[in-house]
A and B are shown apart, each in its own frame.
Chain A
């Protein structure tokens, strides 16, 4: 897929270009060994403004990449034991050689994919992965519930990436979905030292501080901080509700047998007492289901967005770093102590990069907001419906 020409049609359809290539020009890491050429195509920049429209188009009729994650299996080697998940891809995209793929991946492979994506697209919002280890849940690494939860989150992760107009065309993503042996691909990639250099530069820049963050990104930063607080609070409240429900359930379980016991003593009252007993039992059962639903639907959704908030913070930081680097070089230019021409070119390049990064972020931002709104809205609606169902079922019995 090298040497692409830019289609004259900018009407908002997805380009066949591997947009990876364009962005890679602007990433710190220019020594990719993936073998992708890097034309600097201004037109592809234009297309990134159309992210929002693309998304709507895609939702409507162009979903052409279907991914499922399932079948977790324990894999034992001499050194370690880990879980492998099956990843099945079905697609009609032309850049894929086949229409169906099945591979096995472990959690570390997902981590690799995500960090590649973040590197290549520093100011895109890449959906978070489930956490490595859940301390709070007192869950053992290979506990069934934990594996199931993780599997679902990994599934969501890949689907989020596949729905993203830019990320889904990433070369790394394709490799992840198709390569039977991922290990060899993982070995290629930026060397450790160049990554270290990048981190050092980032730290140096952040210490310098940002001269002039544009207003809209300051607002965005504020929002990100507030959102992070609020979503964490909602998550905590939900966890607390589950805890209280569990304790309520424990007491309810003792309530019903007492009525049954009393029914055994009576004659006339036996019938109404047994009625109350089975009513309470019904209530118990429904409460159990309610707790289950909260844990399966609302908590994972909220938790994902708690992690998203952290991702957003990282994206903001990276954007700031890109700007900081530009500013540093720009200042050096002004000091007139160095080679003007060479530096000027570099500064111009960095300026473009800043603009690029900002625009990309802006585009992706509204996309993310919509996505967040949709996801959380549906989770809350589902919870409300479940609660209504709970009361409807519980009322059904006493009325009879």
Chain B
């Protein structure tokens, strides 16, 4: 059983390193300089598997996590198939996942851990939760869900959603998602998230009651609309650019990796044919028989070893995929900034225009072409009363505009501040996680080579006996 692979913010493998955190979990976590220590810890012992190194990190996670994680342990323990009626009243098979939560108390020696609270959720509910988070915290980079459909598969892996391997990898991905949210300084405090973990029945109503649905449409619009922002914050522009490039490069990497895996599978499996032929050949030989036969067995072992190797590699691919999907979340935060900035610019423009209009009205000059101006020229001037009421309306409008602009300005600044805080947090998380992933990939390669050496060394001994 594979455990989640990331290390939540604030968790350090080396306990002597201090992490600052406040009781409410809202303030920024200080990342201590733990990078080099961990590298030594991981690389120095190349015999531990990648899962083992991740477990080491997870074990210390709880001690330093957010307030939520200090209170409870979360995991997605199982997956089960269910049958039910869907929205169009047809029978369908779907998978549900068991979420377990238990109080995060230290268990006394010899004692048994408390029984967890459990509830079942299906993938669509996770999607609902995530959509809620997306619209409620537009300035936060919301952790992604594992893929809906298997992509970047190499031939042996099935692309079927009901395939047990896929379900298992999705289970791990969902657990990872929950832990990411639970360890986020802002998201972990969300009430709806807490209910998601604890209230099986009433949750859906609670979410809908928040009214987040209304914001969904406007968010979709903002993501797809195209508008020109005159003065975006340059950091966001650079970030969006980086995010797009990262998306491209990781996609390509995943594609090539899948093809490489495919080919490597072929190479190993063909060696299995040696096993069969050597065995048959050994039957007709006297002196060579034994050597050939046992060499054949080693060829079979070699051919079979690729299955485990590629399964572990799939794990690495999942880690890359998480960050591939993260790039989409980053992109949407950048877009949100652009939207806010755009609306700010429009509001400022509007205000300027109104002020312009007022000035014209007051001074009687028409500097800017307007339909009103034209019609009054054509159809005669308006009366003094009309002018004054128009002026009053305009001044009212200007005042409202100024207030609105101030609000928007504050909103924009606040957005930039909070978003950038989360972006910094994200950058550090990304660097750390991917570094770990690359290192464990290297460890995997080493392990694969060592196995290869072993097999061929055995085969050579058998050939020697021929």
A: residues with CB less than 8 A from B are: 223, 226-227, 230-231, 233-234, 237, 240-241, 244-245, 247-248, 250-252, 254-255, 258-259, 261-262, 265-266, 268-269, 272-273, 275-276, 279, 283, 369, 373, 376-377, 380-381, 384-385, 387-388, 390-392, 394-395, 398-399
Contact = CB atoms under 8 A, between A and B. Distances in A.
Given A237-B273, A255-B257, A398 B442 contact: yes
B46 interface: yes
20 contacts: A226-B284, A230-B277, A231-B281, A234-B274, A248-B263, A251-B260, A255-B253, A258-B253, A262-B249, A269-B435, A269-B438, A276-B441, A279-B442, A373-B466, A380-B459, A384-B463, A387-B452, A387-B456, A391-B452, A391-B456
A269 B431 contact: yes
Interface string B414-458: 000000000000000001001100110111011001101100110
Contact of B256 (A241, A255, A283, A381): A255
Interface stretch (B100-108, B165-173, B264-272): B264-272
A240 B276 CA distance: 15
Main secondary structure of the interface of B (DSSP, over half): helix
A384 to B, nearest CB: 4
B200 interface: no
Contacts of A380: 295, 459, 463, 466
Contact of B456 (A240, A244, A275, A384): A384
Contact of A244 (B263, B277, B281, B445): B263
B438 A377 contact: no
The 10 A-B pairs with the shortest beta carbon distances in the complex, nearest first, are A384-B460, A395-B449, A248-B263, A391-B452, A230-B281, A268-B431, A398-B442, A387-B456, A391-B449, A377-B466
Contacts, number: 139
B359 interface: no
A398 B444 CA distance: 10
A388 B439 contact: no
B78 to A, nearest CB: 35
B246 interface: yes
B411 interface: no
Contacts of B252: 258, 261
A219 to B, nearest CB: 10
Nearest to A287: B267
Given A241-B267, A258-B252, A272-B438, A394 B449 contact: yes
Nearest to B434: A269
Given A237-B273, A391-B452, A384 B435 contact: no
B449 A234 contact: no
A283 B441 CA distance: 14
B287 interface: yes
B144 to A, nearest CB: 19
Contacts of B266: 244, 247-248
B445 A279 contact: yes
A252 B252 CA distance: 13
B271 A241 contact: yes
Contacts of A266: 431
Contacts of A275: 438, 442
A181 to B, nearest CB: 44
Given A244-B267, A381-B463, A395 B450 contact: yes
A85 B344 CA distance: 86
Nearest to A222: B284
A252 B260 contact: yes
Contacts of A258: 249, 252-253, 256
Contact of B287 (A250, A373, A394): A373
A80 to B, nearest CB: 41
B260 A237 contact: no
A218 to B, nearest CB: 14
B353 interface: no
Nearest to A286: B449
B30 to A, nearest CB: 17
B411 to A, nearest CB: 31
Contact of B460 (A373, A385, A392): A385
B256 A254 contact: yes
Nearest to B274: A237
Contacts of B442: 275-276, 279, 398
Contacts of B250: 262
A234 B281 contact: yes
Given A241-B271, A276-B441, A268 B435 contact: yes
Contacts of B441: 276
B164 to A, nearest CB: 28
A265 B242 contact: yes
Contacts of A390: 452
Contacts of B245: 265
Nearest to B445: A398
Contact of B284 (A223, A283, A387): A223
Given A234-B277, A248-B266, A258-B256, 19 more contacts: A230-B281, A230-B284, A234-B281, A248-B260, A251-B263, A254-B259, A255-B257, A258-B253, A261-B252, A279-B445, A283-B445, A377-B463, A384-B456, A384-B460, A384-B463, A387-B452, A394-B445, A394-B449, A399-B446
B293 to A, nearest CB: 13
Contacts of B287: 369, 373
A252 B26 CA distance: 46
Nearest to B43: A399
Nearest to B250: A262
Contacts of B288: 373, 376-377
A234 B271 CA distance: 10
A118 to B, nearest CB: 25
A249 B337 CA distance: 45
Interface string B234-258: 0000000010011001101100110
Contacts of A262: 246, 249-250, 253
B466 A388 contact: no
B25 to A, nearest CB: 26
A240 to B, nearest CB: 5
